[in-house]
Structure 1
Amino acid sequence: MIQNTLFSTQSVQPLKVLNSSQETATPSESLSKFGAYLEDAINQVSEQEKTSQVMNNQFMLGQVNVDQTMIASEKALLSIQLTTQVRNKVIEAYQEIMRTQV
């Protein structure tokens, strides 16, 4: 089974209920955390693509099997497709917000 590691559940922290005595994160802190999360996700996609290219080169030299090469290629393809779909949804949401009349 192929597992997409772009948005792995290991890095997701469970939501905590905040008490009134606890301080919430400022918008700037939340934005920087979200930015770091997106940067990490894009770096993972890039690493999968590089791994796929290395596996393709090794396959051409006869160093790895075709099934290993295909699995690496499919992982990279699925990650790129997921990233593209997330980007498209973000753009659609932004456009919808911009069309909203105040």
Structure 2
Amino acid sequence: MIQNNMFNTQVVQPLQMQNASVSKPSTPAETIQSFGTYLQEALGSVAAQESQAHEMSNQFLLGNVNVDQVMISSEQALLSLQLTTQVRNKVVEAYQEIMRTQM
């Protein structure tokens, strides 16, 4: 079974109505810090998938795993890396657009 570990959907909680008096509004610094933490965890997940793909390749050379397991692991790592690259490209593109509009 193929699983996407970059965006773990099992952790996502269903949307619920929140009372305005119960939730504390976060400051911009807290928001940036939580976004930075999220990005760091996502990049760590991509790196973990890359290392798992390398380990699976090594195990295949030793004869411990099948070729289909190696291919699935390497394709998962490749797709995660491609997604990360596309997200990075969009962020750079958005930053360049912001810089163009400020002048």
- If the length of structure 2 is used for normalisation, what is the TM-score? 0.87
Partner of 1:53: 54
- In structure 2, the CA distance between the partners of 1:34 and 1:71, relative to structure 1 (3 Å rule), is same
Deviation at 1:21, TM superposition (A): 6.8
What 5-or-longer segments of structure 2 have no aligned partner?
Answer: none
- In structure 2, the CA distance between the partners of 1:39 and 1:70, relative to structure 1 (3 Å rule), is same
How far does the alpha carbon of each residue in 1:27-47 deviate from its partner, in whole angstroms, 9 at most, with x for none? 110111000000000000000
- In structure 2, the CA distance between the partners of 1:50 and 1:16, relative to structure 1 (3 Å rule), is farther
Deviation at 1:57, TM superposition (A): 0.5
Deviation at 1:83, TM superposition (A): 0.4
The AA in structure 2 aligned to 1:80 is L
What 5-or-longer segments of structure 1 have no aligned partner?
Answer: none
Q: May I ask how many residue pairs the two structures share in their alignment?
A: 102
Overall identity of the aligned pairs, in %: 59
Partner of 2:68: 67
